[in-house]
Amino acid sequence: MFETIAKGFVIGLLVSAPMGPINMLVIQRTLNRGWSHGFVTGLGAMLSDLVYVLTTLVGLSFISDFFDKYEQVIQAMGSIILVLFGIMVFRSNPLREWTPDKLPRETRYMRDFVTSFFLTLSNVAIILILMGIYARFSFNPLADGSRFFAAGLAAFTAATFIWWFFLTTLVAR
């Protein structure tokens, strides 16, 4: 059981920690809007990563037809989102005076969560990365039963949660 938890934790860090567009988005929102907005953005990415982990562990064969059928659409949508994100980041000026949104706070948090969730979800290549990581670590908690499956998922979730917590805390200082 400990081995499954350790592997799940390491995989969670390996998936969350690489500096890509989502980490940059979290850093930008933390700097511009504060710790809580950056952390909520990270939680949206965490949920999306968890969806991919579940998808990959439960069985890629069940959804591979869907990805094969809509691969170009998914890639096009993901590319558009990344380009728009890049333009938005390029055009933003973090040095100018920041004014708060006129939206209610709950709406802003939901917006931060949902945008990071869908931006992360648009990266279907994560499935290939996860398959490679699973193979490298011989990570298959389903083969050992539901307790191991739950422990592996909990460890993965804890690792990603800790990553987003520490990243936003470090950036907010």
109: phi then psi, degrees, rounded to nearest 5:
-65, -45
- How confident is the model over 48-70, as a mean pLDDT? 74
Lowest mean pLDDT among 8-12, 67-71, 78-82: 67-71
User: Has residue 98 been placed in a domain?
Assistant: no
CA dihedral 148, 151, 153, 155 (to 10 degrees): -140
167 in a structural domain: yes
Q: Give residue 122's pLDDT.
A: 81
In a domain, 135, yes or no: yes
125 within domain boundaries: yes
- Provide the residue range defining the domain that includes 29: 2-91+103-172
Give a yes or no: residue 96 inside a domain.
Answer: no
Distance CA 109, CA 35 (A): 11
Band of pLDDT at residue 44, cut at 50, 70 and 90: very high
* Backbone CA torsion sign across 79, 15, 41, 35: negative
- Computed over every residue of the chain, the mean pLDDT equals 81
- Contact by Cβ (8 Å): 171, 28: no
Note whether residue 60 is domain-resident.
yes
pLDDT band at 21 (very low <50, low <70, confident <90, very high): confident
pLDDT at 125: 76
Stretch 64-79: mean pLDDT:
74
Q: Is residue 35 a part of any domain in this protein?
A: yes
Question: Tens digit of pLDDT for each residue in 94-148?
Answer: 555 455 556 566 668 888 898 888 888 887 777 778 777 777 777 777 666 778 8
Token pair of 117, please? 């969730």
User: Which residue's entry shows tokens 């579940």?
Assistant: 54
pLDDT on residue 98:
52
**For residue 109, how many C-alpha atoms fall within 13 Å in the half-sphere facing its CB?**
9
Structural tokens at position 6: 């350790």
Query: Considering the chain, what percentage of its residues have pLDDT values greater than 90?
Result: 20
Q: How many domains does the chain have?
A: 1
For the entire predicted model, the pTM comes to 0.70
pLDDT interval class at 40 (50, 70, 90): very high
**CA-CA-CA-CA torsion sign (20, 39, 118, 86):** negative
Residue 108 lies in a domain: yes
Residue 63: its pLDDT value, please? 60
